[in-house]
Amino acid sequence: MVAYFFTILELSAPLVSTIGQNSKEAKKQVSFVGCKVPSVCPLTHSYGTIHQNPFVHIHVFYEGDAWIVSNNKQTQGVRTVWWEDDASGAVVCLLDQSLLPQEVVYLRLKHEQEVADAIRALKVRGAPAIGVTAAFGLALSIRRLIQEQDGSLSLSAAQQHVHAVGELLSETRPTAVNLFWAIERMLHCADVAINNHASLQDLAHLLQAEAQSIADEDFDACMAMGNYGAELIADGDTLLTHCNAGALATAGWGTALAPMYVAHKAGKRIHVFVDETRPVLQGSRLTTWELQQEGIPLTLITDSMVGHFMRLGGIKAVFVGADRVAANGDVANKIGTYSVAVLAHAHQIPFYVAAPSSTIDLDIPSGEYIPIEQRNLEEVTSVRGIAIAPAGIRAANPAFDVTPHAYITAIITERGIIHSPYEEGLRRVIMDLRYHN
C-alpha cells in the first residue's frame, strides 16, 4: 500500500496562498459575519492562524489506485457547509458563495428561516450542498424549538414543526432533486422516532445524526466518483467544465471536479477550461477559485468561446455535474450545459456527467418533466448590481436546461460509470444502494 498522509494544514495551504500571500494578508480578507467567537469556526480560524493551529489530522491515503479518507471527513481546502454546537446552541455554518471570490465570509445560521433564505439567495448552491444544508436546517429547527419552548413542547407539536420546516425548505429551489431527497429522508427519520415515542432530546439527536450521515455519505460519494472518473482522464489532458460542480457544490470533493482532483493528485498533468457560466458566474467566480486552491492549471473562457476552443482541438473531454437525472438518463444542469453538450457531440468530444445517487430521480421518466427554476431577471440584466441592459427590457432567466441522454457519453456515479441504456444502469445504482444500506 502506498500511503500519503496529509494534515489539514497541508490540505488547506493552497487556499491560504490564494487569499493572500501571507497569513496577515489572508486575515485582512476574512470577515466574521455573525461569528461571535471566531475560534469555534474551524476553517475561519485556520485562515488566520494556520501556522500555529493544532489541526485535526486527517489521513488521506492512496491505496491500490484509489484515494481513501480515514476517520474525520474533510474536503481538501474548501469547506462548504457543516454543523457546530456553541454556547448558545446549534449552528449551521456556511461559506457564503454569493460573495466569492472577493470575500471569504462564513455565515453562522441559527434559524431555519436563515437557512432557507441562504439557499434561495445562492449563498449555498450546488445540488448536493443544497440537500446537506436543508438536512442540517431541519435538525437545527428542532433544536431551536426545544430550546425556546423550554419543556412545554409536545411530541406532536414537534412533528408538525418539522413538517412545516420541510415545506419551507422545499420551496427554496425546485430543480435540484437532492433537496427533496434530503428533506424526505429527514422527515422519515423524524416520523419513525416520533411514532416510537422518542423523547424530544432523542428526536433532536437523531435528526442531527441523520443530517450528518447525509453529509458524510455525500463526502464518500464524491470520493468514489472522483476515483471512477479519474480513470477517464489521461496524463496531459485538457478538460472543460461548466458551472461549479466542485467542493463548493457538495460536502466533499465535488462531483465533476472530483475526478480532476484525483487525477491531479495522482500526478496526471491536466489543464481545465472553465467557462464563466452566465448569468451568475459560478464558473468564473467559484470553479476557478477552487481549482486555483489546488494548483490545477486552468483557463477561464466566456460561455460563447466553447465552440471555438472545441473546433481548434485539444479539449479531450467535458465533465459537468447535474441537478436531476431522469430515469432515461436525461440530465438537468446549469443553463448552458445543453449547448456545451451539443458542441461536444458535434466535435466528437466525450461528455461526462458526474452525479451521486441522491441526484437520480427514477420517478421522472424523462427530462421533459424536470421542473426548471426561473430566477430573478436582474441576474440577467445586471452584474452585481451594475446594469448591463437598458431599463425595462424583456429578459428570461431559466436557471437550468435539460441535456438529452443521447448527448451524454457516460454518467459517473458513486457505484461506477454507467453507459447507455441509462434506464437500466440508473436503476441498478439505486437498487444496489438500497440493498447495501
Residues near ligand MRU, by CB under 6 A: 125-128, 176, 243, 245, 249-250, 255, 282, 321-323, 333-334, 399
Q: By beta-carbon distance, which residue lies closest to ligand MRU? A: 321
150 phi, psi to nearest 5 deg:
45, 60
Nearest-approach distance from CB 100 to ligand MRU, in angstroms = 12
Parallel/antiparallel/unpaired status of strands 386-387 and 382-383:
antiparallel
Task: Write down the catalytic residue from 323, 330, 361, 401.
Answer: 323
Q: Which amino acid is at 157?
A: A
**Could you tell me the CA-to-CA distances from 267 to 240, 252, 285, 408 in Å, in that order?**
19, 21, 26, 27
Judged by CB, which is closer to ligand MRU: 250, or 403?
Answer: 250
Judged by CB, which is closer to ligand MRU: 106, or 319?
Answer: 319
DSSP string, 327-339: TTS-EEEETTHHH
Q: Which amino acid is at 86?
A: D
Nearest-approach distance from CB 146 to ligand MRU, in angstroms = 31
Nearest-approach distance from CB 117 to ligand MRU, in angstroms = 15
Residue 218 annotated to the active site = no
Q: Residue 268: which of 315, 234, 242 has the closest Cα?
A: 234
Nearest-approach distance from CB 421 to ligand MRU, in angstroms = 23
Judged by CB, which is closer to ligand MRU: 212, or 250?
Answer: 250
Mapped onto helix, strand or coil, the DSSP state of residue 348 is coil
Sign of the CA dihedral running 376, 78, 213, 255: positive
Q: Residue 50: which of 25, 69, 80 has the closest Cα?
A: 25
Decide: 168 and 113 in contact? Cβ < 8 Å. yes
Which residues share a beta bridge with 299?
273
CA distance 166 to 179: 10
Nearest-approach distance from CB 192 to ligand MRU, in angstroms = 29
Residue the block writes with cell 414537534: 158
Catalytically active residues, by annotation: 323
